[in-house]
């Protein structure tokens, strides 16, 4: 694991109207680790994940990626960062319904400039690793929730991102496939030095992580990294 954090949240505050979702949340995420964000429903886990990913901007406090302050980046720099260096597995609406599952997985590579043939070859290989090669030609509406979730995981990993953000990535999966997805996240962290930040309610899933951080009332209590 790297010495310097890859991502740092420092005293982050964010409200939705009267709801104070984050009230001084601080967190460090290191390259090469799988970090599980746990905590009660409504405690601010997803909001924190969205702030770390540069999707939401805190009202106060800072989010740094390496030595860059996300708040001072332009919208277009933030989207370039998200597209080029981050991978996402979110609960809802992540696959493009008009594209086949293989085209969905190939899409981030195509957006990054890869040729069609190469993008499709890599997409097929990731669908194999996620053990859903048979859904390649189907559209997301024609596959089960669990298959769709594995396609979304393949799409997040295909570009070998530096940070993978996952919100309940195993929620629609049975325990065997949940385990498969967690092992692929761990492999991504260990092979490429990626950081994996995942929100989960399941202690069984968190048990695969290197470290846990508990979010409660918009604040974080994080385990010390093992050194
Ligand atoms: N877009 C929004 N508009 C209004 N309130 C929101 C919005 N997003 C989150 N909230 C509120 O902010 C608080 C924190 O929500 P958040 O989704 O971060 O919690 P969570 O810990 O991820 O919850 P869960 O485990 O149930 O997914 C909650 O009270 C929630 O209702």
174-187 residue pLDDT tens: 888 888 889 888 98
Residue that has been written with the tokens 């409200």 in this structure: 15
Higher pLDDT, 184 or 36: 36
- Greatest mean pLDDT range, 24-33, 147-156, 199-208: 24-33
Q: What is the pTM of this model?
A: 0.91
Asked, for residue 86, whether it belongs to a domain, the answer is yes
Q: Which pLDDT value is given to residue 80?
A: 87
The verdict on the CB of residue 170 being under 6 Å from ligand 1 is no
pLDDT higher than 80, residue 1: no
Q: Which pLDDT value is given to residue 163?
A: 96
pLDDT higher than 90, residue 3: no
Report the percent of the chain where pLDDT is more than 90. Answer: 65
**3-state SS, residue 211:** strand
Asked, for residue 126, whether it belongs to a domain, the answer is no
Q: Which residues are within 8 A (CB) of 114 and not within 5 positions of it... i.e. 6 or more apart? A: 106, 122
Q: List C-alpha distances in Å: 219 to 6, 17, 25, 169.
A: 20, 18, 4, 22
Range of 17's domain? Answer: 7-92+141-222
Question: CATH no. for residue 210?
Answer: 3.40.50.300
The verdict on the CB of residue 178 being under 6 Å from ligand 1 is no
List residues bridging with 69 in a β-sheet: 64
Q: Which pLDDT value is given to residue 221?
A: 93
Asked, for residue 111, whether it belongs to a domain, the answer is no
Asked, for residue 104, whether it belongs to a domain, the answer is no
Asked, for residue 136, whether it belongs to a domain, the answer is no
Q: Which pLDDT value is given to residue 170?
A: 84
Q: Which pLDDT value is given to residue 33?
A: 94
Q: Which of 36, 42, 48 to mutate to test the pocket of ligand 1 (most atoms within 8 A of CB)?
A: 42
Please give the biggest Cα pair distance in the chain.
50
Quote the CA–CA distance of 152 and 115 in Å, as a whole number: 21
pLDDT higher than 70, residue 93: no
CA atoms within 13 A on the CB side of 209: 26
Q: Ligand 1, closest atom to CA 50?
A: 18
Residue that has been written with the tokens 């009660």 in this structure: 40
Quote the CA–CA distance of 173 and 145 in Å, as a whole number: 8
Q: Which of 14, 41, 43 to mutate to test the pocket of ligand 1 (most atoms within 8 A of CB)?
A: 43
52-81, pLDDT tens digit by residue? 999 999 999 999 999 999 988 999 999 888
pLDDT higher than 70, residue 137: yes
Return the structure tokens found at 150: 């594995």
Asked, for residue 84, whether it belongs to a domain, the answer is yes
Asked, for residue 1, whether it belongs to a domain, the answer is no
CA angle 76, 87, 159 (to 5 degrees): 95
Q: Ligand 1, closest atom to CA 47?
A: 18
Asked, for residue 118, whether it belongs to a domain, the answer is no
**Domains in the chain, number:** 1
């Amino acid at each position: 694991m790297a010495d310097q954090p890859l991502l740092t949240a420092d005293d982050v505050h964010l409200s939705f109207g009267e709801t104070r979702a984050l009230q001084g949340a601080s967190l460090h995420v290191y390259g090469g680790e799988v970090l599980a964000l746990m905590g009660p429903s409504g405690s601010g886990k997803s909001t924190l994940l969205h702030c770390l990913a540069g999707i939401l901007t805190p009202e106060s406090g800072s989010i740094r990626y390496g030595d860059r302050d996300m708040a001072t980046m332009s919208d277009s720099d933030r989207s370039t960062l998200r597209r080029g260096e981050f991978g996402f597995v979110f609960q809802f609406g992540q696959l493009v319904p008009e594209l086949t599952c293989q085209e969905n997985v190939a899409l981030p590579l195509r957006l990054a400039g890869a040729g069609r043939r190469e993008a499709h070859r890599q997409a097929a290989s990731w669908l194999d690793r996620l053990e859903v090669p048979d859904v390649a030609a189907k559209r997301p509406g024609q596959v089960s929730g669990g298959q769709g979730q594995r396609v979304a995981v393949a799409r997040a990993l295909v570009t070998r991102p530096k940070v993978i953000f996952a919100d309940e990535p195993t929620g629609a999966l049975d325990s065997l496939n949940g385990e498969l997805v967690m092992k692929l996240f761990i492999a991504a962290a260990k092979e490429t030095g990626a950081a994996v930040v995942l929100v989960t309610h399941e202690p069984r899933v968190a048990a695969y992580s290197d470290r846990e951080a508990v979010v409660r009332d918009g604040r974080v209590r994080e385990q010390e990294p093992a050194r």
